[in-house]
Structure 1
């Protein structure tokens, strides 16, 4: 049995997170990395549309990987060759010189408000050749030819950040990109004048005033998806909230839980894989070969000492 643990936001680029790394005590992670052999890393930068954990997950599943063009919506549908995308409802927080996106998870949006907004917005999409359906209160599914070739930033990239830096161009389909920007503008005006806006404001809730497009694309053929790795979400949730004390606590729990279990499996001789993802890079370690040369390499590694966990996490 093979075990693969994929960890999003094992580190983040925020200065508050970087300041915590030297004091982070993760003994099970340190012991596990000492037993495993590192594979070639997926190196990128903070400005790529697709974050490292989504690139790593797509590769593990066997999906095509291109920046801003991992077809998440199509991969989960019954007609994956049709261009599709997720429209995630959000709140655009407007400041003096910036617009920041707060995702639907922070909106406390119920089905009644979501359904009312959907009924108002769906005809506009239909006029432009897009079929829209509700998957949940905050996640709507769009499909149609205008989405083919669209590049868009992951919701994890833009959440809590200024949106201007993440409005991607789509050279393969500039007309489709213009259509989506127009629909986003129309949604802002429509949602602002909708009765749900004032009703939510009166209840002290953030109004829905837009949506974010992500996970767009189509597949050439129905995918034969591989088994998904285990992917704990606690570090990611804390990082997206900017809750760095919570992020530190989540790492302690992860080290005592999933990491300890992976270490125990490696000690039993079972094949294991660990992928740590930051906001730039994804680094992967797997069970080291059992041959004499590999044992010699591990002996040399132990002789000179292993890299501190903090240094490993800084290089994510």
Structure 2
């Protein structure tokens, strides 16, 4: 269940040339209507597009009461494990220790050329649960030799537990898809084990029957993995419903499909944004967070007297007024 009164929108804008072109013809009437009724929070979560944690993950971490720094230290896997833990042994995700450092491991393909090592979107692998579990069984013994326990969670995401993940800064998968992985690798001195495992897994999978069978079916090889969301959950945040967070803009932006991105914005504007604008117009309380690739901005409902005062001093904001700051 999500917090329907907090709408958090990832990839609301991008610095990519294709996005700038798509923005020129984009009209979002419901978003402009909503921004005209909300007060902007004074604090701007300003960052860079080289930060390990993108703005939407930082904003989500703050909402959930987690560490939200840009350096990639939010323990997403440990938090997820805590959220999924059940009181009995039949819990779907049950790692060895509730308090150990954990991380997500995403099997993926690295496309290697003379000057780039590009991480292809794991969704393009067409891994189903059976294939993912088969691959996990192949790789788990290698990781276990270095004290890392792997557990299945989703076809393109496993849970890992081990001391190497304690305090390790890792880059979000959203930062790396379709990009050169080398600037986003964890620190070699802190993660020597992981760097070696990367090399060993590439050699192991290069001629493995698992990939031979995939090639025979016209599927891309799995030849690498990505570590993200690493860390230890030092305290247990109070449970709160996550915000409503549509991912269509994210998915289109990671594919660099800016026509689909513009269409996704129109759909979000006509759907969750319009609903939130109607809720505010009826006197309801709401929050809105817009995230780009560098920064995030937030708005909230203000007391009626306060809003009447500031609306007489300032013209209402529109998306066109703020999108270049994201």
Instruction: Return the TM-score normalized by structure 1.
Output: 0.93
Deviation of the 1:167 alpha carbon? 1.4
Structure 1 residues 63-105: Cα deviation after superposition (integer angstroms, max 9, x where no partner) = 1123211111000114552100000011111122101001321
2:284 matched residue in structure 1:
270
The answer to whether the aligner puts 1:64 opposite 2:67 as a matched pair is yes
1:22 positional shift: 2.7
Check the 8 A contact 1:21/1:313 in 2, yes or no.
no
2:38 to 36, 51, 55: 36
- Deviation, 1:308, is 4.0
- Give 1:282-293 correspondences, 5 Å limit: 282-291=296-305, 293=306
Q: How many residues align?
A: 308
Matched, 1:313 2:323: yes
> Is the 8 Å Cα contact of residues 4 and 243 (structure 2) preserved in structure 1?
no
Two-structure CA RMSD over aligned residues (Å): 1.6
Runs of 4+ in structure 1 over 4 Å off: none
Q: Distance between the aligned counterparts of 1:231 and 1:88, measured in 2?
A: 22
TM-superposed CA distance for 1:223, in Å, is: 2.9
C-alpha deviation, 1:307, in angstroms: 4.0
Are the aligned partners of 1:83 and 1:147 in contact in 2 as well (CA < 8 Å)? yes
Q: Distance in 2 between matches of 1:290 and 1:220?
A: 40
User: Is contact 1:63-1:225 (8 Å) kept?
Assistant: no
Is it true that 1:238 corresponds to 2:252 in the alignment?
Answer: yes
| Whole-Å separation in 1 of the counterparts to 2:235 and 2:309 | 45
Q: State the alpha-carbon separation in 1 of the partners of residues 323 and 127 from structure 2.
A: 35
**Structure 1 segment 6-17 matched on structure 2, within 5 A:** 6-17=8-19
Q: What is the rounded CA distance, in whole Å, between the counterparts of 2:285 and 2:253 in structure 1?
A: 30
Aligned counterpart, 1:46: 49
- Structure 1: how far apart are the matches of 2:232 and 2:147? 16
1:67-78 matches, within 5 Å, as 67-77=71-81, 78=85
The answer to whether the Cα contact below 8 Å between 2:35 and 2:318 also exists between their aligned partners in 1 is: no
Q: Distance in 1 between matches of 2:159 and 2:204?
A: 19
TM-score normalised by structure 2 residue count: 0.90
Secondary structure of the structure 2 residue equivalent to 1:85: strand
Q: Establish whether residue 225 from structure 1 lines up as the match of residue 229 from structure 2.
A: no
2:308 maps to which of 295, 308, 312: 295
- For structure 1, which segment, 224-233 or 39-48, has the greater mean C-alpha deviation from structure 2 after superposition? 224-233
Q: CA deviation at 1:147?
A: 1.2
Q: Aligned partners of 1:203 and 1:2: how far apart in 2?
A: 43
1:1-316 pair list within 5 angstroms: 3-39=5-41, 40-66=43-69, 67-77=71-81, 78=85, 79-169=97-187, 174-175=189-190, 177-291=191-305, 293-302=306-315, 306-316=316-326
Runs of 5+ unmatched residues, structure 1: none
CA distances 1:110-165 after superposition (whole Å, capped 9, x unpaired): 23332222112111111111111111222111001121111110000000111112
Matched residues in 2 for 1:71 and 1:59: separation?
12
Post-superposition shift, 1:218?
0.5
Alpha-carbon contact 2:53-2:175 (below 8 Å) kept: yes
SS in 1 for 2:243: coil
Q: Is the 8 A contact 1:24 1:310 kept in 2?
A: no
Query: Which range is displaced more, 188-197 or 273-282?
Result: 188-197
Distance in structure 2 (CA, Å) of the matches to 1:236 and 1:9: 5
Stretches of structure 2 that go unaligned for 5 or more consecutive residues are 86-96
CA apart distance, 1:59: 0.4
